[in-house]
A and B are shown apart, each in its own frame.
Chain A
Amino acid sequence: MRDSVGSVRTVLLLGGRSEIGLAVVERLVRDGAREVVLAARGGTAAPSVLTALGATVHSLEFDARAPDTHTATVERAVGLVGDLDVVVDSFGVLGEQADYEADPASAARAAAVNYTGHVSVGLAVAARLREQGHGALVVVSSVAGVRVRRFNFVYGSAKAGLDGFAQGLADSLHGSGARVLVVRPGYVPTRMSAHVEPAPFPATPGQVADAVAAGLRSGATTVWAPRVLQPVFAGMRLMPRALWRRLGR
């Protein structure tokens, strides 16, 4: 349960190896969280930084492509640590647009991880948060979904769907004691994005984590990382299509 100064006790990370997700978890542990569940396919080892900070870290099997298992996954997390104070949903795959275009089936599989997997696990988490009467779901969206670009539209369109899903979920949870925080990072240098050329206004995973922590404290519904991306993308949305199509990465 979140206390009056914003500390929580438990965190569930969906996408237990996600660098952004782990940075958020580390930040929450520094602020007082004591029980962490890392949910990932095949489980994952506890990062030493979390255990050194005094957190108890549990590993949980979680397959984003198996929506039938998602309700049970959430129940298992509750069985491990009790009430879920913060759930960080940050799993996903980036991939190469050219590969997707060459193999349409692989594009659909990526879309399942980046969108439909979040729908089933997001609804399962929301049901639990509604039942316990408190808690926050942090959904890591992306500016790639704010206006989808020609250069990564398979990934971008899934993020656009995820972003819309998360906003609708937030509204449906209004008044239930639970809430959803949508995070829209720009380019974040991680293992997942190593093959992509850096974009303007990058943010490190730590900076994204700071933005999430600030958003959880202030009661925000959306945070951008870095913050300047909000006005930047307000402008991008207005850009004429002919120009947008010609933009580089």
Chain B
Amino acid sequence: MNRPTLLTGWGRTAPTAARVVRPRTAAQVADALAQAGPRGALPRGLGRSYGDAAQAAGGLVLDCRELTGPVRLDADRGTVTAPAGTALGRLAAHLLRRGHVLPVLPGTGYVTLGGAIAADVHGKNHHRDSSFGAHVRSLTLVTPDGRTRVLGPAGADADLFWATVGGMGLTGVVTEATVAVRPVETAHMRVDTDRTGDLDATLELMSRHGDAPYSVCWVDLLARGRALGRGVLTRAHHARPADLPRALRADPLRLNPSPRLSAPPWAPSGLLNRWTAGAFNAARFHGAPERRRGEPQPLPSFFHPLDAVRGWNRMYGPHGFVQYQFVVPFGAEDVLTRIARDLSRAGTPSFLAVLKRMGEPTAGPLSFPRPGWSLAMDLPAALPGLAGLLNGFDERVLDAGGRLYLAKDSRARAETVHAMYPALPAWREVRARADPAGVLVSDLARRLRLV
């Protein structure tokens, strides 16, 4: 068998070695699972989970990016069926040319369809449309017991379907899925932008404008004193042809390709510090309009702004970075305030803190989203005292009835996560049916004792 390969998540921390195979068909997936050794096996997609969710030390990793093939759009039923290795960005581009969009798009298009289901990803419309799993009509799952199952959200095997939604690849390998799609008239969004002066104003404005289908707020967690938590709130609708400038109306589904930048292959470890991050955040805040209405934006740049820079994760240098994302219920705004204040006080260089309102959850026992406020931020992993700081945040989030996002986690304690996900024992029971020998395992699952 091939030599071990070092794998990390998108945060580039804690590499571990595994053998990697690249199945192209469901049959090859089943073969690979049958050949897994004593250290188990795990599917991996485009590696955008920030922590250790898509690595399996000493085991066999099924790199599923080549599980691709024709995409079938059924416009009458409003569904699309695609192989699980298809990247969501490509799928979205394919659909857009045909006048459709996916009902949920995460912050990057570099997520495979299988990965989007396994992490039950959410987008800027979670408060209205829930997460990705809510729109999956059926999925094909190859399990280590040698079976291939077609599962749906209702019916006999519904519990295995929901255990797979948000199940972090630990219930089987998704090889194909059928997802609902929506018709659109243009390839643009109609975007409203508002700047807010502090965190209270940010929360107030986001609560007031609950009606926009897409809404997200970038928050400056490095601003000091009264400006702490100032932000740039964007809200958007799908644009109608009449919303577009005359030049774009003739062919409203057409997109001009946007240039892609690339981050340098290497960056020194201290490049992103509180001063550079502070300057970046201030520039971003002041660069945004105070109030703007109805600006047309191409759909990909609205949904996936970070995809404009290839390999941006390298900017954090050789020690990588930690992404911290939690959700707390409505009414627990004080947790947001205290965490923001602690981060600011510690001078923690957090880029790209993103605040979102979240709505109805799916039935996935390990699915992250819950109604409330979600805050996500990037932090350099080498920051002194980071472990203690984040452990303190975990306690507050847990006390408030909130939870962490497994696709982002790289450092939480097992007991904390068990308390945040009370449905974990039920999930384990369902998983045991599909994987009685316990073949599927990841570094995340070992660290958090999920399996």
Contact = CB atoms under 8 A, between A and B. Distances in A.
Mostly helix, strand, loop or mixed at chain B's interface? loop
B17 A134 contact: yes
A79 interface: no
A4 B14 contact: yes
Given A4-B11, A134-B16, A175-B4, A83 B387 contact: no
Interface residues of A, number: 22
Nearest to B415: A34
A9 interface: yes
Given A5-B387, A32-B387, A177 B17 contact: yes
Contacts of B447: 1, 3, 9
Interface in A113-129: none
A176 B17 contact: yes
B57 A7 contact: no
B16 A133 contact: yes
B320 interface: yes
Interface in A46-74: none
Contacts of A178: 17
A119 to B, nearest CB: 24
A131 B52 contact: no
A5 B348 CA distance: 15
A37 B14 CA distance: 23
Interface string A96-128: 000000000000000000000000000000000
Given A4-B14, A31-B387, A133 B4 contact: yes
Contacts, number: 80
A214 B435 CA distance: 40
A4 B6 contact: no
B443 to A, nearest CB: 6
Interface in B12-44: 13-18, 39
Interface string A123-146: 000000001111000000000000
A131 B382 contact: no
Given A83-B446, A134-B57, A4 B16 contact: no
Given A83-B57, A133-B18, 18 more contacts: A1-B52, A4-B322, A4-B410, A4-B411, A5-B322, A5-B386, A5-B390, A9-B447, A32-B387, A132-B58, A133-B4, A133-B17, A133-B58, A177-B16, A178-B17, A217-B382, A218-B319, A219-B318
Interface of B: 3-4, 6, 11, 13-18, 39, 51-52, 56-59, 318-320, 322, 381-382, 386-387, 390, 410-411, 413, 443, 446-447
Interface of A: 1-7, 9, 31-32, 83, 131-134, 175-178, 217-219
